Structure 1
Amino acid sequence: MNWIQHAKRLFQMPKPAHFTNYRHCCECAEHDATLMAYDVDSIGIQQLGHPSWDPLCFTSAAGLLYYMPALIRLTLETMDKPQEKYIEQLLFHLIGDGKDHDLMHACSPEQRACIAGFLEYVIETYSDAFDGCTIADDLLMAYEIWSVE
């Protein structure tokens, strides 16, 4: 399966007018400007690859839904790049507060199934890369959260 194309189909939506509460502070305004300057196809690891400066931490569930195909793309593009792996940040956003968080509620059943299927694919395809890593626990936790009916 082409996970990127599948996600683009399921998560296709108009770009939000804003991604953050951009009037809140300079940091929110900067993160909003970053997310507004790119789209699903153009945003990259340079914009989203820093856990301590991740604009998606400040966005709404709608913003995460809009960028979900990009998050899947970045995860796949960086799986073989130990210094750039995006999977940890993806998992952070997917785990949120557990089974009862805004992103989970914003997704349709088909979108939730897509995310669960993608996580299952990552587990099956890259399991050797996670042996002995704490990320394996997060991956299984995210899969459990998103596999709910």
Structure 2
Amino acid sequence: MGDLEIRPATAADVPAIVAMLADDPLGARRESPDDLTPYLRAHTRIAADPHQHLVVAVRQGRLVGTLQLTVIPGLSRKGSTRSIIESVRVHADERGSGLGTQLIEWAVDESRRLDCQLVQLTSDATRTDAHRFYERLGFEASHVGFKLQL
């Protein structure tokens, strides 16, 4: 990965992560970078859970990307363990640089290392560029997702 380091996110990384989460039309409506309290609480829970892997990509001392990998043991598929990739974000200055590919490749490799048999992710229906990106990396649009806001 050359000058790129992918490492676990620390509490000090939370402001930069939240800024990336909010840096698009969908995220701008969902995120609140002015109040980091709920994000810091979430980071504490994530960091304490061995099935959660919130990572950041750092280049030349600057946080340039992030994703969260969740490992879920299951009974289906003959007791397979799966991973879910979520909250993939690349800093605006790094888009188109191949960083997104490096992040997803890291997540797939880490999933293999953790003995997962399946990697899955969801992407908002409006993110058609992201859909093409994931398909180029070998992911298939195989299911219809549903959410219930609580």
User: Which category of TM-score, normalised to the shorter sequence, fits these structures?
Assistant: 0.3 to 0.5
Q: TM-score scaled to structure 2, two decimals? A: 0.32
TM-score by length of 1: 0.32
Question: Relative contact order (alpha carbons < 8 A, sep ≥ 6): 1 or 2 greater?
Answer: 1
Which structure has more helix as a fraction of its residues? Answer: 1
Structure with the larger strand share: 2
